[in-house]
Structure 1
Amino acid sequence: MRIGELCAKAGLPRDTVRYYERQGLLEKIPQPNVSNNYKVYSAVDLQRLKMIKHAKMLGFTLSEIADVLAIWVDDAFSVEQKRASLVRKLMQIEEKERALVALRAGVVNALNKIGQPCDDAF
């Protein structure tokens, strides 16, 4: 599929897709015909873009996303190395999840106290 169709299916602007490609988050897309600039993207590219978009929405940085993608596609990593790296990333995600739960509790607590007199002792 061409970039317009890819963008429509991924829900991302062309500039974002091109940026991700320049940053190495998408594999280099060969141009099948040197007489035009059309690149043909695959379903794998679409899946990767959807994953990137979802991870960004959850607060992950492009660097963190790139780390996971690199581990997944790099043939230099053994299966055990890939598993260990992804387990470490999963542990980081779970740590973030615990921090978000604590943050949510604090925000709910603050929300519940709105309009009540301040009784903090100095």
Structure 2
Amino acid sequence: MYRIGALAKAYRLNPDTLRYYEKHGLLAPTARSESGYRLYSEADAQKLRFILKAKAVGFTLAEIGELLTIEANRSQWACQDVKALVEAKVTQIDAKLAQLGQFRDSLQGLADACCGGPESAEHCSILDALEVQ
């Protein structure tokens, strides 16, 4: 059994992160000691690894909660259900990448239109373009 500090240290986390996951229903201690300390089992540590890996590939806490539900009841879910979640995430990321590309192009256009000289910014084309008219 791990106390909260030991489990957090093993995964280079702050104990508050584990409390946050508990608050959001992702991870709960297996037991509490007589003095009230949270105690985590090896299964809890495995669940934490799952959470951290899912977070590292971009899943939100809500999405991780869905994945944990599926993980806990694998026999009641189809592989296509999991794949659908992953494909939905890929679609979201593609949309964000497209938006970031538009932002980049807009910013580059502003930068290209600016002389970038040492003179006063009174007639700066970037500031002019950003002014609300």
Is contact 1:3–1:39 with CA below 8 Å preserved after alignment? yes
Task: Report the secondary structure of 1:39's partner residue.
Answer: strand
User: Unaligned 5+ residue runs, structure 1?
Assistant: none
* Pairwise CA distance, 1:18: 0.8
Structure of higher CA gyration radius? 2
User: Unaligned 5+ residue runs, structure 2?
Assistant: 118-123
| Higher relative contact order, chain-length normalized (CA < 8 Å, sep 6+) | 1
Q: TM-score, normalised by structure 2?
A: 0.59
> Mapping of 1:99-110 within 5 angstroms?
99-110=99-110
- Count of residue pairs brought into register by the alignment: 116
Q: Which has the higher strand share?
A: 2
> Mapping of 1:1-122 within 5 angstroms?
1-26=2-27, 28-31=28-31, 35=34, 37-42=37-42, 43-51=45-53, 54=56, 61-75=60-74, 76-111=76-111, 113=114, 115=116, 117-118=124-125
- What's the Cα RMSD here? 3.5
Q: TM-score, normalised by structure 1?
A: 0.62
Residues 38/98 of structure 1: CA separation in 2 closer, same or farther (3 Å cut): same
Task: Report the secondary structure of 1:66's partner residue.
Answer: helix
